[in-house]
């Protein structure tokens, strides 16, 4: 299975998502999107494939969201894309692409819907169990 993750190694959710992908035996194509941002067209296509509004993919925390006035509801999608192209940190992560779809994997467990069954137990960095020893999603996931 060919899987792509738009990844930020400084983000715990992104690291957990990457580890869950690898726990299925897949080595994904890892794109550190802050160093290699997607083109405007590609980002537009990813968001369309997710079936969510552009605003749902904009990250507020730790970004210039407020300073740029992106909380203004009258901004158009094109204006939001302009901001994300100028400031890739505004693109929320991780975005995962698989043959089963495209998803913003927040929470990280959302990636499990895009993948084959895990190979074994999986715990997040903080110790929370996501997949039990039998390969089943934990009740809290």
Name residue 131's beta-bridge partners: 122, 137
119 band by pLDDT with thresholds 50, 70 and 90: confident
Q: In the 3-class helix/strand/coil scheme, how is 56-108 assigned residue by residue?
A: HHECCCCCCCCCCCCCCCCCCHHHHHHHHHHCHHHECCCEEEECCEEEECCCH
The residue annotated as part of the active site, out of 5, 11, 80, 111, is: 11
**Domains of the chain (ranges plus CATH)?**
4-131 (3.40.30.10)
User: Tell me: the pLDDT tens digits for 44-53?
Assistant: 999 999 999 9
Residue 11: active-site member: yes
Mean pLDDT of 74-91: 98
Name residue 123's beta-bridge partners: 129
Whether pLDDT at 121 is above 50? yes
pLDDT of residue 14: 98
- Other beta carbons within 10 angstroms of residue 2's beta carbon come to 9
State the DSSP H helix or E strand holding residue 126, giving kind and residue range, or none if neither: none
106 band by pLDDT with thresholds 50, 70 and 90: very high
133 Cβ contact partners less than 8 Å away, ≥ 6 residues apart: 120, 121
């Amino acid at each position: 299975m060919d899987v792509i993750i738009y990844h930020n190694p400084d983000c715990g959710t992104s690291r957990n998502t990457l580890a869950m992908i690898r726990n299925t035996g897949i080595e994904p194509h890892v794109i550190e999107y802050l160093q290699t941002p997607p083109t405007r067209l590609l980002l537009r296509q990813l968001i369309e494939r997710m079936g969510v509004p552009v605003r749902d993919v904009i990250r507020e925390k730790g970004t210039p969201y407020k300073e740029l006035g992106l909380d203004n509801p009258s901004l158009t999608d094109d204006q939001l894309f302009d901001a994300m192209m100028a400031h890739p940190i505004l693109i929320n992560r991780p975005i995962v692409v698989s043959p089963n779809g495209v998803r913003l994997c927040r929470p990280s467990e959302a990636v499990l819907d895009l993948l084959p069954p895990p190979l074994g137990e999986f715990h997040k960095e903080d110790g929370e169990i996501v997949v039990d020893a039998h390969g089943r999603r934990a009740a809290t996931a």
